[in-house]
Structure 1
Amino acid sequence: MVCVIELAVIDLLTKLALRIRHVAPRSLALLVPATLGVVYTAQLYATWVSGGFIPPIAFANSEVTGLVSFSGAYRLLAAFLASFVAYAVWQRKRIERTSIPAATAGLVGLAAVYALLVYNQPLARGIVIAKGEAPVSSFVHSVVIYAGMGSRVKVDAAGLDAIRSSFTRRSVYQHGFPEDITRSLPERPNVIVIFAEGMSARWMDTYGSLNPGVTPNLDRLADGSLVFTNYYNHTAATFRGLRGQLTSGHQETDGYNDEGTGIAQRDVSQDVTAIPRATVPTILKPHGYRSMFFLSQQEYVNNMIETLGFDRTLGRDYLYDTYLRKPGETARPVHLSDLQLFDAMLLELEAQPTDKPFFAAVYNFQTHAFLDGEVKYGDGGNQVLNRFHAFDRDVGHFIQRLMESPLHENTVLVFTSDHSTFPDPFAVKADGRMPLYFVDPIPLLIYWKGVEHRSINLMGKNSLDLAPSLLSLLGVREAHNLFMGCTFFEQCTLDRISNIGDEYILTDPQRSYSAFQVPEAQLASFGHARDVIERYKSMDLIIETPNVTSKEPIPHMLLRNEAVLGSFQSPKAGDVRAVGIKIGNFGGTSDGNVSLKVCKAGTCRASTASMVGSVDNDYLQFYLPEPLRVATGDAITFTFRRIDGTKPLAMWSYPGSTGSELTLPNATKVPRDAKIALTF
């Protein structure tokens, strides 16, 4: 009934707009029902391809939607717009028959009934249409929810530092892989991690597939690997899954989008990203590992991956131009096929110098939702089974080549997924056990030459545990991090809760549960974990700062180990014995220690000071261990750094008068000066 009311409203709005006499305002008024009709039509198309209306997570995964062909949707929308214009022209000729009071009364009446029917409507999941959903209202609901998933919330430095402190860890793990498993592991091995796009474990015979023979090559690999079962994705979609696994965390915002609000594209001239996170490649770098990430596409996903600390992000352009382009070819494909991606990756890895091990990760594309496979499974009637069957052919080709490569002697191969398969009608038809939410067991295989095959039941743990577990396999124990997970061989409190937007899913040794299904005995711990995850995600929010072009003084917040760099000129000649810098200690509440390093022509002096006893909005004195001799007008550089402490601390800056710049903790350069006082 709600769907019919929306159609009736669109019709009445069209007729009322046509009563307007002047062309310009009439055309503008017609845009309203036309836009509503476009949304309605798009939702019908979404229902046809996925079984339900567009969910919020679809907007969160917009970085890859440009690579999926929606030509059917475009044709349908074009047909609607042509029909709308024809209908408007036809109605215009008979518009005098429409009574404005009657149409207005009908519109008001329909609106009242409509409001009652859509009140508290369920959130669209994109899987089935729930009772109470309607195309237009559901679309608006999804947009509002998605906007809330990445809202710009103001976070003060004190609260932010307290949050970071509560999650900061100085070690990666206590209990890693048992020695009886790693006995045959090569010393300082290379690592290749395959993140299969949107693959649940249920398509493999290894994990009890209801459709035998979909992935024969992966099943053969599993027969000689460590196989981890009852292992779930902790989030979705693509970038949340990739970043979340490589940082062992959840996130509030997406990575890169047209609005410019993603993690990879904040305007740091006005905003400061809250907390950078340690990732697997950044932790491995001091241990001599070079890192690479391989993708079949270009643009958004590549830009997002570049925020994760890999030394190189190798996408379509580089791989195609270096390894795949044939003589005479000029245009690049929209994306590489999975076979092309794996072939080019192996060629690149085989060309790497052997003086250092590498950590390489790869994300394919051709198993993305709504795509069909080049190789048909069975009668070819199920696109989900087709695409994973085709993927198995391509990844099988890569595995065979790797086994024949010199890399085989000293490389660990990890096969997993960025997230589970989206439960669209094809997926549910292929396996009716599939839950109608975006959390499902995902595959995890770990192989190296000589590994003893065994199956390890993870009892409902999720992909938060991938990063600490891989690092433990490589023996990297000590590293500062913000990991939420632990290794597969430890117990922690957050690795059995999956989160997508505002939806939370509990996983345990038996099954998974939506928030409404959580057993009563686990409700308290589930609620606590949900609160902790929300607190963690706030580290992806931003600190709003004043406009740096302001003529007023501006305080620049400093968290632990953050610094402001700048320069100034000596007002006179002599021996500088102390340097003062103007700070704000928020009414005497700042704690911890700070340092100041000043340099002139390569000669430097450094000193530390305690914030305890400092004066708010005044100079904090640093007494130099030796005088620094300067001449009038000498350029002196400084680095003001917060060493420790958790309470708010700021350094004041003022409009620049000498053309100098300050470099803020987020690496932004601003035309401002610090307030410096020299004691000679």
Structure 2
Amino acid sequence: MKKIFLSLIICTITASSFAQDKPNIIFLLSDDQTNIATGCYGNDQVVTPNMDALAEEGVLFENHYNTTAICMASRAIILTGMYEYKAGCNFDHGPLRKDKFAKSYPVLLREQGYYTGFAGKFGLAVSDEGNSTRHNSWDALPVDDFDNWAGGLGQTSYKTANNKYMAKYAEKYPHSTRAYAAWAEDFIIEAKESGKPFSMSISFKAPHMPFSPDQYFDYVYEGKTYKKPDNYGAENATHLAPQAKTGRQYNDYTFWRDSEESYQKTIKNYNQLIHGVDYALGMIRKTLEEQGIADNTIIIFTSDNGYSCGAHNMGGKVLPYEEASKSPLIIYDPRTPINERGVRREEITANIDMAPTILRYAGIEPPANMDGEDLRLLIEKPKKFKRETVALTNMWGNDEIQAMGVVSKDWKYIFWNYEDDEMSTTEELYHIGKDRLEMTNKATDPSSQKQLEKMRKIYDEHLAKLKKEAVEDNLYQKYAVLFDRNATAEEKKPFLIGKPAKSAKKQKSNKKNKKKKNKKN
């Protein structure tokens, strides 16, 4: 009996020691938050005090890109640390295969003794059966792969009561954003009692459409009038590739441009949703303080993609332009010396970096298949951080908008591969270090030809990686041809999906229905 009791004491001490040695890790993901919708990124029209404080105490990454700017693919990329063509998951392609998920950061953390929890929009299916990406059934979600699961089906709902695992918080927090922070409080207490270090991941629905903010925050932007960005509207899109102005990103989302009133209402609701996420961040940090574990808990905050908000006449995301592909990224490690906090890094970071960085913080070697970098090196020894570019891809939607580009700190190159009787393959080159609004395409500027050739070479290097490493299933091999700058129209033709860009006539007929739906939402 004494031996059993002694063993229990030793186990308890060992678990406690392990929990103290390993940091807790919180990963917070908003949905569709462009970085310029955040105060610490220079926007004085928004109220994000907790995000701003996190940046002041941690590290803010000024050029953080989602290598695929659409939720399903980006979430698979974040989990696995791999480009989309290796993760193999997106709408119209297929689910995340189980062998890929088995090497995701939450699974690996749990295997190494972390207490893991997930709440919110998981946003993708984990399955080996067929090519369905539907995540509206529980058997397509990894419910049993977390110690505490509070994820929801599909896009989830802003109404807390409509989310199965969150419904118990509905009376006090009817809007899901604050409800997730309430769940976080319970999880943190539960995880602390387990004696293990914990990994908590929350994927907020906000600020995804429908733009239905928490009425609790109506006072925040009451009477506010917003200034439009300088690249707002169709008149500032004449230089864009014709391919980019097909499909829903350019033709739909008319509420951004129907009227001044419509724009003001939409941007207010969008910003108010983000303020709700900011408030939830504050609630979570307060819980950490109350539980006495704030000094050993790392917080990472980012989003799955950006959002166009009317820039260049665009709504939504998907395309590799700045507003759609960039999100905020803030990493706060309380163990960092005070004189090294509040720094900003200009180097390129990406969603492929999330998984390897999280694993490294936990003292776990990332699997060799991961494409991302450990951002601790960029934080602690930036001069030794060598990566200069990442690839930006869109492999979803109508043929015309499927494209690939590469981006560095100062330059962005996009190759639009689609061609037919009305449009030719098109190149775009932006000096984003000086032209962040992407108002001048320098691809045909004689003074930029050396830079164009340099970016073409980098593009071809990323394409060679895609050709070598793209998964065999889920329709990814075709991009070795489609994204090839030297492929002919005939060579590309068999790989086109034939999904037509929406016509102007169809857009007009849908406009009234859109307005009705937007009013309802």
| TM-score interval, smaller chain | 0.5 to 0.7
Asked which structure has the greater CA Rg, the reply is 1
1:485 to 372, 381, 393: 372
2:35 equivalent to 1:201? yes
Partner of 1:280: 105
Q: Is the 8 A contact 1:408 1:449 kept in 2?
A: yes
Aligned residues: 337
Give the SS at the match of 2:348.
coil
Indicate the structure with greater strand content.
Answer: 1
2:432 equivalent to 1:499? no
The CA distance in 2 between the partners of 1:537 and 1:308, in whole Å, is 29
The CA distance in 1 between the partners of 2:90 and 2:29, in whole Å, is 19
Give the SS at the match of 1:446.
strand
Cα distance change on mapping 1:510 and 1:480 into 2, 3 Å? closer
Partner of 2:512: none
Q: Is the 8 A contact 2:72 2:89 kept in 1?
A: yes
The CA distance in 2 between the partners of 1:300 and 1:256, in whole Å, is 15
Partner of 2:352: 464
1:61-100 Cα distance to aligned partner (Å, 9 max, x none):
xxxxxxxxxxxxxxxxxxxxxxxxxxxxxxxxxxxxxxxx
Cα distance change on mapping 1:187 and 1:409 into 2, 3 Å? same
1:246-296 Cα distance to aligned partner (Å, 9 max, x none):
211123587598x9x7325x8xxxxxx886661112322342113221116
2:22 equivalent to 1:188? yes
Name the amino acid aligned to 2:370.
Answer: F
The CA distance in 2 between the partners of 1:369 and 1:313, in whole Å, is 24
Cα distance change on mapping 1:212 and 1:424 into 2, 3 Å? closer
The CA distance in 1 between the partners of 2:140 and 2:281, in whole Å, is 24
Give the SS at the match of 1:425.
coil
Partner of 1:292: 117
Name the amino acid aligned to 1:486.
Answer: E
Measured after TM superposition, the shift of residue 417 of structure 1 is 1.0
2:201 equivalent to 1:361? yes
Give the SS at the match of 1:460.
strand
Measured after TM superposition, the shift of residue 504 of structure 1 is 1.6
The CA distance in 1 between the partners of 2:467 and 2:37, in whole Å, is 32
2:458 equivalent to 1:525? yes
Cα distance change on mapping 1:229 and 1:358 into 2, 3 Å? same
Name the amino acid aligned to 2:136.
Answer: Y
Identical positions, percent: 18
TM-score relative to the length of structure 2: 0.56
Partner of 1:441: 326
Q: Is the 8 A contact 2:63 2:326 kept in 1?
A: yes
Measured after TM superposition, the shift of residue 314 of structure 1 is 1.7
Measured after TM superposition, the shift of residue 457 of structure 1 is 1.6
Gaps of 5+ in 1: 1-184, 267-272, 544-680
Name the amino acid aligned to 1:288.
Answer: G
Q: Is the 8 A contact 1:291 1:311 kept in 2?
A: yes
Q: Is the 8 A contact 1:194 1:414 kept in 2?
A: yes
Q: Is the 8 A contact 2:68 2:325 kept in 1?
A: no
Partner of 1:324: 169
TM-score relative to the length of structure 1: 0.44
The CA distance in 2 between the partners of 1:292 and 1:505, in whole Å, is 35
Cα distance change on mapping 1:523 and 1:191 into 2, 3 Å? same
The CA distance in 2 between the partners of 1:463 and 1:324, in whole Å, is 31
Measured after TM superposition, the shift of residue 190 of structure 1 is 1.2
Indicate the structure with greater helix content.
Answer: 2
Name the amino acid aligned to 1:337.
Answer: S
2:414 to 508, 514, 521: 514
Partner of 1:414: 300
Partner of 1:384: 270
Partner of 1:346: 185
Give the SS at the match of 1:231.
strand
Q: Is the 8 A contact 2:55 2:342 kept in 1?
A: no
Cα distance change on mapping 1:426 and 1:445 into 2, 3 Å? same
**Higher RCO structure, 1 or 2 (CA under 8 Å, sep 6+):** 2
Gaps of 5+ in 2: 1-18, 124-134, 153-162, 226-263, 378-383, 396-401, 416-426, 430-451, 477-521
Q: Which moves more between the two structures, 512-521 or 237-246?
A: 512-521
1:398 to 284, 291, 311: 284
1:111-164 Cα distance to aligned partner (Å, 9 max, x none):
xxxxxxxxxxxxxxxxxxxxxxxxxxxxxxxxxxxxxxxxxxxxxxxxxxxxxx
The CA distance in 1 between the partners of 2:275 and 2:176, in whole Å, is 14
Cα distance change on mapping 1:409 and 1:305 into 2, 3 Å? farther
Counterpart mapping for 1:17-416 below 5 A: 187-209=21-43, 211-252=44-85, 262-263=94-95, 278-295=103-120, 300=136, 306=142, 310-316=146-152, 317=163, 319-321=165-167, 323-324=168-169, 337-352=176-191, 353-374=193-214, 375=217, 377=221, 378-379=224-225, 381=265, 382=267, 383-416=269-302
Partner of 2:160: none
Give the SS at the match of 1:442.
coil
Counterpart mapping for 1:562-601 below 5 A: none
The CA distance in 2 between the partners of 1:454 and 1:303, in whole Å, is 43
Cα distance change on mapping 1:409 and 1:301 into 2, 3 Å? farther
Cα distance change on mapping 1:254 and 1:341 into 2, 3 Å? farther
Give the SS at the match of 2:471.
helix
The CA distance in 2 between the partners of 1:349 and 1:498, in whole Å, is 36
Cα distance change on mapping 1:509 and 1:311 into 2, 3 Å? same
The CA distance in 2 between the partners of 1:531 and 1:194, in whole Å, is 33
The CA distance in 1 between the partners of 2:138 and 2:412, in whole Å, is 32
